[in-house]
Amino acid sequence: MKKLTEEEIYKKLESLQGWEFDNNAIHTSFEFEDFKEAFSAMVRIAFEAEVQQHHPDWTNVYNQVEISLSTHDAGGVTEKDFKLAESIESIINAGE
């Protein structure tokens, strides 16, 4: 899986909402009503990540979830990250 160039990454970020590129990864964060809602979204994302065999680096504090995606083997951001980012967006949007 080939590491994308910065130009490719910024172009692809245009089709996502609220993601940023920084420090060789793409990042987003979500705020939910409470812990239960936040963790429920994480469970749905976890199943999808396992299907894709590509996993987020993420942090949860009560109702907040911060997610970073990068492809460790490639040393940067690849198509795999954007595929998972799109799935995360679909999951979050479906829950609203």
Binding site for a second copy (CB under 8 A): 35-36, 39, 42-43, 46, 49-50, 55-62
**Token pair 């979050």 in the structure block, residue:** 92
Output the smallest distance, CB 4 to a second copy, in A.
21
Record the tokens describing residue 5, joined without a space: 């160039």
AA identity, residue 19? W
Distance CA 42, CA 88 (A): 9
Of 16 and 60, which has the nearer Cβ to a second copy?
60
Comparison of 10 and 62: residue with beta carbon closer to a second copy: 62
Q: Please, what is the minimum distance in Å from the beta carbon of residue 32 to a second copy?
A: 12
| Six token digits for residue 44 | 């749905």
11/55 with CB nearer a second copy: 55
For the chain, the residue count is: 96
For the four alpha carbons of 82, 16, 87 and 36, in that order, the dihedral sign comes to positive
**Minimum distance from residue 12 beta carbon to a second copy (Å):** 23
> Residue 49 CB, nearest distance to a second copy (Å)?
7
